[in-house]
Amino acid sequence: MNREKTKNKPAFMLLGIRNKVVLCFLVPIIFMIIVGISAYQKAAAGMREKFQESTIQTISMARDYVEMSCMFIESEGTRYAFATNVSNYVGGALENDPVGKMLALETINLDLLTSLSANSFISNIHIIPNENLTILTTGSKQNEKGILNEHMQETASSQRDILKWVDSHPALDAVLETDFSTYILSYERLTKYNDGCIVIDISRSAIEDFISGIDLGEGSITGFVTENGREIISQTSVDEESTFSDNEIVFFEQEFFQSIDPENPTGALEVDFHGEKYLFIYSRSSEINATICGLVPMSVVTNQAIEIRTLTMQLTILAGIIAMIVGITIVAGIQNNMKRISGKLGEVSKGDLTVDIQAKGHDEFRSLAGSAANMVANTKKLVKKVRKSTGELEKSSDDVEKVSDTITDYSNKITQAISEINDGISRQSEHAQECVTRTNILSDEIQEVGKVVEKVELLVNETEGMIHKGMEIVSMLGKRAEETTEITSRVGESIGNLKKESEIINTFVETITSISVQTNLLSLNASIEAARAGAAGRGFAVVAEEIRKLADDSAKAAGEISNNVSHIMMQTVNSAEKAEQARSMVAQQGKAVENVVSVFGSMNQKLGQLVEGLKEIVKSIGKADEERSDTLQAVINISDIIADTSNRAETVNVIAEQLLASVKNLNTTADMLGENMDELKSEIDAFKV
C-alpha cells in the first residue's frame, strides 16, 4: 500500500506547467533587461558624445576668449609701438629737449597705468630702449638702463624680428627684479623704427581665475599650458583631495599631451592618469602658442547613464516581482484543477470506470474534464467488447497451434530431402572441377609447346636471314677475289714493263759510261797539248781540266744510276714473284668462296624444309587447342549447371529452414497468445464496470 502511494505521488517535472508558465513570464522580463542594457549602452555612448562635444566647445570658447583678450593686448602693444611719444623717446629725439622729454614721459607713464587698470589680463608693461636710455615700466623698480640688444639676442627669431608671444624673459626679469610667477605669457613687439621693444606681461592670477571658472565636472582638472611647459592648473574637487602635488607638471610631460596633432589642434581622447580613466580635452592656440586643456573623470561623463541603468534595473526587478506574483496565482489554480483531474484519472488507471471527473472554473480545464469523462465512458464500452472477443481469440489460438505442428513435420521432411540433393550435387561439382583443372593443365602445356614452336620458328627465320646475308657477303667476296686476280695480273704486266724499261736505262748508262771514258781521254790529250803550248795554252789547260772533272762526274753518276737500276731490277723480280703468288692465292680464295656459297645454299634449303615442318606443327597445335577449348567450355558449362543446381537447392533449403523457423515462431506466438489471453482475462476482470 505504501509502495502504491509512493508510485502515485506526483514527481517533480522540470518541464511541468508551473515551470513553463514561470518561463513565459521570465521571457519578457529577460527582454526588458536586454532592452535596459541596450538603452544604457546607447545612452552612455550618446551622453559621452554630447558631453565630449559640449566640453570641446567649452574649451574652444575659453581658447577664443583668451585669444580675443590677447588680441586686445596685441592692439595695445601695436599702439605703443607706433605712438609718437614712444618713438621720440626710444629714438633719442627728446634728449636735447628736457621739457619735452619730461612731458612725453609723463604722458607715456599715464597711458601705461591706464592700460594696466583697464585690462585685468595685463600685469605689467615695459618699454625697453637701448643702453643710453632708461626702461619705462609699470613695475616697482624704475630708472634702469635699457637692455634692448641683450633682450633681442635672448628672444629674437631673426636679426630684425622677435617672437610675438613668449612665456619668459629672464634678462628683463633680472634687471627689473620682476617675479617670474606673476606672469604666464608676454607679448613683445619692436617699435616703429626697431629702436625699442614693447613688452606686455599677461597676469598669471587673471588666467588662474579664468581657468578656475571653467567647470568640466566634479573631479575634473583644467589647465593652461605654454609652449615651453609652464602650466596653470585648476581642479574641481569638493569632497576629495587634489590628485596632484603643487609643483607637479600635470599636462606638459604626459605622453597624451605631447601626441597632440598640430594639424588637429582641438579634440578629445580617453587616457589613463594616476591609474584612473579620464577624458582628455584640448584646444591649442597657434596665435599665442598656448594650450587650454582638461581632464574629466569618465565617471562624470557616464554619470547620467549610470542613473538610467539603475532606474532600469529597479523597474525591471519590480516588473519581475509583479509577474512572479501573477504567475504564481495562475499556476496555483492550474495545479488545483490538475490535481483533481489526475486524482480521478488515477482511480481510472486502477480499473474503476465508475468515477465522475469534474473541474472548477470556466477555462480549458473544464473541457479537459469533460473529455476525460467521455474517455472513461468509451473505455467502459471497450472493456465490455474485449471480454466478448477474448473467448473467440482463445479458440483461434488453439487452431493455430495444431496447424503449426503439421507444417513443422512437412518442413523437416523437405529439409532432409534437400540435404541429400546437396550432397550429390557437391560430389558432381568436385568431379567437374577436377576435370576443368586437368583440362586447364593440358591447355597450359599445349600453349607452352606452341610458344616454344613459335620461338623455334623465329630462330629459324633469323638463321635463314643470316644465311642469306652470308651468301650475299660471300658473293661479294668472290667478286672482290676476281677483281683482285685481275689487278694482280695487271701488276705483273706492269712489273714486266718496268723490267724492260730498266734494261733500256742500263743501255743508256753504258753509253754514258763510254762517252765519259772518251771525254776523259780527250781532256787528257788536251792537257798534254796545253802543256806543250806553254803560257799560251794555260787557258785551254783549265778548260781541259774542267772537262775531265765533268767526265769523272758523269762516270760517277752513271755508276750510281747503274747501281739504282740494278736494285730496281732486283725489286722488280721480287715483286713479280709476289704478284704471281698473290694471283695463285686469289684463285684458291675464289674456289673456297664457291664452296661456301654451295654450303650456304644447302643450309638454306634444309632450313626451308624445317620451317614447313614447324608450320605443320603450329597448325596441329592450333587444332588441338581449339578442341581443348571446346572441351573446356563444355566442362565449364556442366560445372555451371551443377553450381546453379546447387545454388537453387541451397535456396530451397534456406526457404525450408525459414519456413521451419517461421513455424517455430508461429508456435511461440501461439503460446504467447494463449498466455496473453489469460493475462487479458485477468486484466479485464480487474475493471469495475
Q: For residue range 39-51, list pLDDT tens digits in order.
A: 767 776 777 788 8
Residues 6+ apart with CB under 8 A from 30: none
339 found inside a domain? no
Backbone angles phi, psi at 277, to 5 degrees: -85, 130
Please give the radius of gyration of the chain, using alpha carbons only, rounded to the nearest integer: 74
The whole-number average pLDDT for the span 165-172 is: 91
Task: Tell me whether residue 400 is in a domain.
Answer: yes
Residue 331 in domain: no
Cβ atoms of 211 and 290 within 8 Å: the answer is no
Which domain range does residue 618 map to?
A: 380-683
515 and 643 housed in the same domain: yes
Residue 340 domain flag? no
Query: Do both 440 and 559 map to the same domain?
Result: yes
Looking at the fold, whether 103 and 229 belong to one and the same domain comes out as: yes
User: Are both 577 and 475 inside the same structural domain?
Assistant: yes
| Domain shared by 447 and 550, yes or no | yes
Count up the domains in the chain and report the number.
Answer: 2
Poorest-confidence range of 51-60, 82-91, 255-264, 386-395? 386-395
Element (H, E) at 125: strand 122-128
Report the mean per-residue pLDDT for the chain.
77
Helix (H, G, I), strand (E, B) or coil at 496: helix
Whether pTM > 0.85 for this model: the answer is no
Q: Where among 253, 273, 301 does a domain terminate? A: 301
Within a domain: residue 350? no
Question: Does 284 share its domain with 404?
Answer: no
For residues 290 and 393, membership in a common domain is answered with no
Confidence of residue 633 (pLDDT cuts 50, 70, 90): confident
In this structure, the answer to whether residues 249 and 384 fall within a common structural domain is no
Q: How many CB atoms sit inside 10 A of residue 249's CB?
A: 16
> Exposure of 672 by Cβ count < 10 A (0-12 exposed, 13-18 middle, 19+ buried)?
exposed
d(CA 230, CA 252): 8
- Domain identity same for 288 and 436: no
Domain boundary among 285, 301, 317: 301
Bridge partners of 235, per DSSP, are 221
66 and 195 together in one domain: yes
Taking only the tens place, the pLDDT of each residue in 429-445 is: 776 677 667 667 766 76
Q: Are residues 669 and 527 in the same domain?
A: yes
Which CATH number fits the domain that encloses residue 589?
1.10.287.950
Is the distance from CB of 282 to CB of 266 less than 8 angstroms?
yes
Q: Does residue 387 share a domain with residue 286?
A: no
* Per-residue pLDDT at 366 exceeds 70: no
Helix or strand or coil: residue 227? Answer: coil
**Higher-pLDDT residue of 40, 67:** 67
Instruction: Read off the pLDDT band of 159 (50, 70, 90).
Output: very low
Last residue of a domain, one of 280, 301, 322: 301
Residue 234 bridge partners (DSSP): 222
Q: Report if residue 42 sits inside a domain.
A: no
What percent of the chain stands above pLDDT 90?
20
